[in-house]
């Protein structure tokens, strides 16, 4: 894995926790550490962190891509996100411009970040 961990700040940490508990749960991840002001998600160790901002001001959009085991997990992630009111940026589909097995969905989390669930091993469209 190239990225050891990722951390983003969230204006409403409680809303972000509800969102990520639900959508990451569909991909087999869970909250593994919670310090009230910061929370870490992963399978065994925290690879993805949410925290309250340390300074006031606008939050800048981040793009985060989470690994999905298969196409069904991509759809489960999308369903969980939209149930919580997330805006769909790009519906689940193949993205052959990235590579033939790339299947992903992109949504906006409660803080406006562009969040993706991606499966790299999906059968190419038409097969």
27-85 tens-digit pLDDT:
999 999 999 899 999 998 899 999 988 777 776 778 899 999 999 999 999 999 999 99
Q: pTM for this structure?
A: 0.80
pLDDT of residue 93: 98
Q: Which of 10, 41, 11, 29 is nearest to 67 (CA)?
A: 29
Pair type for strands 87-94 and 103-108: antiparallel
Distance in angstroms (rounded) separating the CA atoms of residues 126 and 77:
23
Token couple for 112: 């406006």
**Is the pLDDT at 118 greater than 70, yes or no?**
yes
pLDDT band, residue 11 (cuts 50/70/90): confident
pLDDT at 3: 65
Please count the residues of the chain.
127
Tell me the CATH number for domain 6-53+61-119. Answer: 3.10.180.10
Q: What is the pLDDT of residue 127?
A: 66
| Percent of the chain surpassing pLDDT 90 | 76
Full strand arrangement of the beta sheet holding 103-108: 63-67, 114-119, 103-108, 87-94
Report percent pLDDT > 70 for the chain. 95
Question: What mean pLDDT do residues 6-29 have?
Answer: 95
Residue 70's pLDDT is: 95
pLDDT at 2 > cutoff 60: no
pLDDT of residue 38: 92
Question: Distance between terminal CA atoms of the chain?
Answer: 29
**C-alpha–C-alpha distance, residues 9 and 95, integer Å:** 29
């Amino acid at each position: 894995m190239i990225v050891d961990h990722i951390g983003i700040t969230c204006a409403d940490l409680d809303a972000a926790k509800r969102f990520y508990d639900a959508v990451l749960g569909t991909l087999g991840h869970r909250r593994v550490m919670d310090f009230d002001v910061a929370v870490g998600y992963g399978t065994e160790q925290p690879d993805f962190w949410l925290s309250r901002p340390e300074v006031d001001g606008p939050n800048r959009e981040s793009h985060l891509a989470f690994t999905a085991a298969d196409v069904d997990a991509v759809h489960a992630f999308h369903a969980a996100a939209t149930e919580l009111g997330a805006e769909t940026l790009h519906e689940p589909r193949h993205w052959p411009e990235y590579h033939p097995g790339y299947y992903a969905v992109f949504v906006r989390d409660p803080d406006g970040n562009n969040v993706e669930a991606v499966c790299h091993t999906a059968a190419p469209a038409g097969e």
